[in-house]
Structure formats: structure tokens, C-alpha cells
Chains A and B, each alone.
Chain A
Amino acid sequence: AQSVTQLGSHVSVSEGALVLLRCNYSSSVPPYLFWYVQYPNQGLQLLLKYTSAATLVKGINGFEAEFKKSETSFHLTKPSAHMSDAAEYFCAVSAHGSGNTGKLIFGQGTTLQVKP
């Protein structure tokens, strides 16, 4: 079975500062990992995904994430935060298992606050 843990339910950074949102996963098989962003009153939008092609994955809006198998981590980073990055971020893993159901297993979410 797979699981995802996001460390820190709230992260606050200053505009222009580094953004680091932490995600650790548990999976007995090679995982497919995703980061989604949820802006206020909107649905989830894909930021990036890891599908084993490359360990450093670049996404939209300047975000990137690095897959580290030894640390079972898939942390999301952005070099310089912008006010428009304020949102809730979800890390997710595709659920493997007998009879693939297409389910995503989500972490608890991290709310990013960006201060002027």
C-alpha cells in the first residue's frame, strides 16, 4: 500500500524567498508522484509529476521537485516566492495494487502563505 506525508500544514515565506514544501512517500513499488496546487475557491491543478524519466522534475510557474529514492522524498521547491503562489499544495501518489483503480492517494496538504 502507498501513503504520502506532507510535513507542515502551514508554511509561511516572504516574497522573494525560497519555497520548500516537504513530501515523503511510502511505496513498495516504484511510485508515480504528483504535486497539485489549489488556489482559493478553485479545483486542483497539476504542478508537476514524476514518472521515473528524470529525478528532477520541472513544472509550471517555476516550481520543481526532486525525487530521492533513498530518502523516499519528493519535495517541492521554487527559488523565489511570489504573492500569487499563496495556495494549498497537495502531494499525491498513484495507488498501485491488484486491480488498478486509478486512485490518487493524497497527503494532508500544505497551505503556503507569502508575506509582502
Chain B
Amino acid sequence: EAQVTQNPRYLITVTGKKLTVTCSQNMNHEYMSWYRQDPGLGLRQIYYSMNVEVTDKGDVPEGYKVSRKEKRNFPLILESPSPNQTSLYFCASSPDTLLYNEQFFGPGTRLTVL
């Protein structure tokens, strides 16, 4: 089954404790992206990657890091989480960056930073 998977689905952590949210897709997509969803704000892009070893900042990159060492994986790293990073996170992938392409979303990771 074609899908985007994320782990963990739920995470409660404390301020400053480094964490990684994994994302993997099995569709051989070149493009991957991370969004955060906050009430009343919709989804906002954090980082994106057009291909292996090619990553760039989205609209809200502060406090996050990413890497793209393999085509299928695109982990999101919070080196020192803070309470304002409490949010619902989605990973998405797409065949490429063509504007009319559908993006496929993972199930989401709900993160709480205390």
C-alpha cells in the first residue's frame, strides 16, 4: 500500500530534550516536506526537500532541523524543544514539485512539550 508513515504518533516530552520524528514514504517520491498544524492557522511548512541531500527552509523553520540521506526518509529533529513547538506535525510527499501534484500526507504526530 502506498503510504507515508510517521513515528511516533504521540509524544510528550520536556523542554530541552532532543527528539526526532521519523517520516518514511514508499512511493519513490522525490519531494518531501514537513508541516505543523495549529488551531486557526491551518498548516504551515517547516522544511522541504526536493531530493536526496537537498533541503531548504519553509515558512517556520526556527528550532527545527531535517536531513535527507535516503530518498524514502525525511526525519524532523528538534534539538532543544520548547513549549511553543507543541503542535500537530505532518510529513508529506509528492512525486516532484510540479504545482498541480497532489501531496500525500502521513497520519500526523501530536507533540506536547512541557
Tell me, yes or no, whether A binds B: yes
Chain A interface residues toward B at CB < 8 A: 4, 9, 32, 34, 36, 41-46, 49, 51, 90, 92, 94, 96, 100-104, 106-109
Per-residue CB contact flags for chain B residues 37-49 toward chain A (1 = under 8 Å, else 0) read 0001111110010
Task: Report Cα–Cα, A48/B107, bound state, in Å.
Answer: 19
Instruction: Given A43-B107, A44-B105, verify A103-B42 contact (CB < 8 Å).
Output: no
Task: Report Cα–Cα, A106/B41, bound state, in Å.
Answer: 8
Interfacial chain A residues near B40, Cβ < 8 Å: 9, 108-109
Interfacial chain B residues near A94, Cβ < 8 Å: 99-100
Chain B interface residues toward A at CB < 8 A: 4, 31, 33, 35, 40-45, 48, 50, 56, 58-59, 90, 92, 94, 96-97, 99-103, 105-108
B48 in complex: contacting residue of A32, A43, A102, A106, CB < 8 Å: A102
B102/A49 in contact, CB under 8 A = yes
Instruction: Given A101-B58, A103-B33, A103-B58, verify A49-B100 contact (CB < 8 Å).
Output: yes
Instruction: Given A101-B97, A102-B94, A102-B97, verify A108-B105 contact (CB < 8 Å).
Output: no
Whole-angstrom distance between the Cβ of A110 and the nearest chain B Cβ: 10
Task: Report Cα–Cα, A8/B100, bound state, in Å.
Answer: 26
9 A-B residue pairs with CB within 8 Å: A36-B105, A43-B4, A44-B43, A44-B105, A45-B105, A102-B31, A103-B58, A104-B45, A108-B42
Whole-angstrom distance between the Cβ of A77 and the nearest chain B Cβ: 20
Interfacial chain B residues near A101, Cβ < 8 Å: 45, 48, 56, 58, 97
Instruction: Given A42-B108, A43-B4, A44-B90, verify A106-B42 contact (CB < 8 Å).
Output: yes
Whole-angstrom distance between the Cβ of A35 and the nearest chain B Cβ: 11
B99/A32 in contact, CB under 8 A = yes
Residue of A with least CB distance to B43: A106
Task: Report Cα–Cα, A100/B101, bound state, in Å.
Answer: 13
Task: Report Cα–Cα, A94/B33, bound state, in Å.
Answer: 14
B58/A90 in contact, CB under 8 A = no
